[in-house]
Amino acid sequence: KAGVTQTPRYLIKTRGQQVTLSCSPISGHRSVSWYQQTPGQGLQFLFEYFSETQRNKGNFPGRFSGRQFSNSRSEMNVSTLELGDSALYLCASSLGPAGTQYFGPGTRLLVL
């Protein structure tokens, strides 16, 4: 089976812009979670989707949003980018809620 794929792998944006990141889970996996990883804050949970519904949400501002499609693919959107949004954004999929998570390679976002 193919692993979790994330596109794009690298992004450079400027402050104020918006960005959309995509995640394709492992075939058959219906749960997708998003994380932000930075050197200072470590791995922080953004949100989890299962069956197109957001099931859990971390402590991030409303500028961070996501959605899941009927084929379980997920997108994450960040509006009005700030310098502090520069990070590695990781997506993980699992068969279902609380299942073992399998991570993609991440999207590295740099905000200038």
Partner 1 sequence: AQSVTQLDSQVPVFEEAPVELRCNYSSSVSVYLFWYVQYPNQGLQLLLKYLSGSTLVESINGFEAEFNKSQTSFHLRKPSVHISDTAEYFCAVSLSGGYQKVTFGTGTKLQVIP
Contact residues: partner 1, CB under 8 A = 4, 33, 35, 42-43, 45, 48, 50, 55-56, 58, 90, 92, 96-98, 100-106
Beta strands at 53-57 and 5-7: parallel, antiparallel or unpaired: unpaired
Min dist CB 15 to partner 1, Å, is: 25
Of 10 and 70, nearer to partner 1 (C-beta) is: 10
Of 36 and 78, nearer to partner 1 (C-beta) is: 36
Distance of alpha carbon 107 from alpha carbon 66, whole angstroms: 15
φ, ψ dihedrals at 26, nearest 5°: -60, 140
Min dist CB 47 to partner 1, Å, is: 9
Q: Answer whether 13's CB lies under 8 Å from 112's CB.
A: yes
Of 17 and 33, nearer to partner 1 (C-beta) is: 33
Q: Which two tokens stand for residue 101?
A: 């998570």
